[in-house]
Amino acid sequence: MNIKNLLEALEGVQTIESVKSILSVNKKKAIYYVSRLRKPGYVKTRKREDNTRIYSISFQNRLKGTSYYEIINEHSPVKLSIPEIYKIYGREPSLEETFIFALKTKSLRTILAALALFRKITNWTELYWLAKKNRLERQVGALYDLSKRIMRVRKMTDRFRNNALPKKEYNYAYVIPGIMSKDFSDIEKAWKVYLPFNKRDLEDYG
């Protein structure tokens, strides 16, 4: 079977078992066919928690595009499913840009996974500029202080903190509309931001 026919038959998200079923072959042959597609760059591989290999097979993979979700998964113990949308070509998004993207999704699991980025974020000037542009400075600050409670993180600059902390009577803002914490009221009070996580939500960072 040539590469074009293989790609057409297997495009999408596969496992070795699904490849066996689609192509009506045994396990050894299925692994061989996945390997043939991997060499020219059509396959991206990740593992489930049970160590099952998941193959994302697509012509777009050869273009070396990435996504914010892939960047988050690379750094986080909380793994996200990766939609084919939001692919970015021609550049590598920064961790700072990726964190703001996660916040803007308003997705509980995406934001939870993105907390791990605070272990690596160093460009606080860029993060502040992006947060300010999206009116998310206080949310970033509150989530950073939350992250400090559960893992080792890079130090936030005094400039970011001083600029982002509320200096007058602000109304409380939400990270995710309508959701607030029962366990981190001190952080919420400092930043005037309702956090969406309780202690049990953070167990994957234990």
- The answer to whether 145 and 118 are in contact (CB under 8 A) is no
Higher pLDDT, 74 or 83: 74
pLDDT in tens, 2-38: 888 999 999 988 999 999 999 999 999 999 999 999 8
pLDDT of residue 86: 66
- The answer to whether 10 and 57 are in contact (CB under 8 A) is yes
Structure tokens at 17: 């078992």
Mean local confidence (pLDDT), 108-114 = 96
Mean local confidence (pLDDT), 136-141 = 97
Mean local confidence (pLDDT), 153-174 = 92
**Strands (E) located in the chain:** 12-14, 43-47, 53-57, 66-67, 87-88, 173-174, 193-194
Range(s) within the chain of domains with CATH label 1.10.10.10? 1-61
Of the CATH numbers 1.10.10.10, 3.30.465.10, 1.10.3720.10, 3.40.1350.10, which one belongs to the domain with range 1-61?
1.10.10.10
State phi, psi for 47 to the nearest 5 degrees: -115, 140
pLDDT of residue 185: 93
For residues 100 and 140, give the distance between their C-alpha atoms in angstroms, rounded to a whole number. 8
Mean local confidence (pLDDT), 159-168 = 93
**CB neighbours of 174 closer than 8 A, spacing ≥ 6?**
180, 193, 194, 196
Gyration radius of the chain's alpha carbons: 21
83 pLDDT above the threshold of 90 = no
**Which among 11, 84, 16, 10 is positioned nearest to 51, based on CA atoms?**
16
Residue type for position 85:
I
85 pLDDT above the threshold of 70 = no
